[in-house]
Amino acid sequence: MKRVLITGFEPFGGETINPSFEAIKNLDIPNIDAHVYTLLVPTLFDVSSKHVIEHIKKINPNIIILVGQAGGRKSISIERVAINIDDSKTPDNQGVAPTDRVINPSGLNAYFSSLPIKSIIQELEKNEIPASVSNSAGTYVCNHLMYSVLDYLYHSRLSKVKAGFIHVPYIDEQVIDKPNQFSMDVKLITKALEIIIKTSLKS
Ligand code: PCA
């Protein structure tokens, strides 16, 4: 049976919840021939990647789906690429805010997602869920985690493992005090992630 690892982040930047974890904590996908492992990840530059890579070593997943919040985006964003830079004015949850810091001096400049990004978009659109390819995961903790996981798989020659990153919008509960911000129902994000898992298993 295939193994899927899906991760979500702890809240950051003054939020009390993070939609990435809210959406995965109750995942329950009927009729799939795979075991799905969910993992909560601290919003910390270095700890996030160490934590996830430790679990990859233990679980040995076939598919890795990393999920994070991108408040302000209006669709489920399928990230195409991660770059070898940490650069942020917003500190992580321990106050770390690196400037132009290379993540791995012996890593490539960038890695592409190995998830089937175009099939994922097609399937989400078929289900009337707004989705788009994003060509930048930013230079904060999400990009750091995506880069570090793809870099680990590359250097470990685990080329058969499919991995990538999905950014999700705010959920409705988060925008009560942000009247002009876009938000989605958490159940719709959960459904989107179920579709992403199923599509990745088929590819
Ligand atoms: N989003 C942040 C980090 C944690 C999260 O959920 C990001 O986009 O980098």
Question: Is 142 labeled as catalytic in the residue annotation?
Answer: yes
Interatomic CA distance for residues 75 and 127, integer angstroms: 13
Percent of the chain with pLDDT over 90: 96
Q: What was the pLDDT predicted at 31?
A: 87
Question: Does the Cβ of 77 fall within 6 Å of ligand 1?
Answer: no
CA of 13 to the centre of ligand 1 (A): 9
Q: How many CB atoms lie within 10 A of CB 82?
A: 30
Average pLDDT of the chain?
Answer: 97
Atom of ligand 1 nearest to the CA of 18: 6
Place of tokens 């950014």: 167
Q: What was the pLDDT predicted at 28?
A: 85
Q: What was the pLDDT predicted at 44?
A: 98
Phi/psi class of residue 46: alpha, beta or left (left: φ > 0; alpha: ψ in -120 to 50)?
Answer: alpha
CATH number at residue 143: 3.40.630.20
Residue ID of nearest Cα to ligand 1 atom 9 = 142
Q: Is 112 helix (H, G, I), strand (E, B) or coil?
A: strand
Number of domains observed in the structure of the chain:
1
pLDDT tens, 53-104? 999 999 999 999 999 999 999 999 999 999 999 999 999 999 999 999 999 9
Interatomic CA distance for residues 170 and 85, integer angstroms: 25
Interatomic CA distance for residues 21 and 25, integer angstroms: 6
Q: Which of 141, 165, 168 to mutate to test the pocket of ligand 1 (most atoms within 8 A of CB)?
A: 141
Q: What was the pLDDT predicted at 40?
A: 98
pLDDT tens, 117-155? 999 999 999 999 999 999 999 999 999 999 999 999 999
Model pTM score: 0.98
pLDDT tens, 144-188? 999 999 999 999 999 999 999 999 999 999 999 998 999 999 999
Question: Is 79 labeled as catalytic in the residue annotation?
Answer: yes
Domain extent for 53: 3-202
Q: Which of 21, 140, 143 to mutate to test the pocket of ligand 1 (most atoms within 8 A of CB)?
A: 140
Catalytic residue of the set 10, 15, 22, 142: 142
Question: Does the Cβ of 70 fall within 6 Å of ligand 1?
Answer: yes
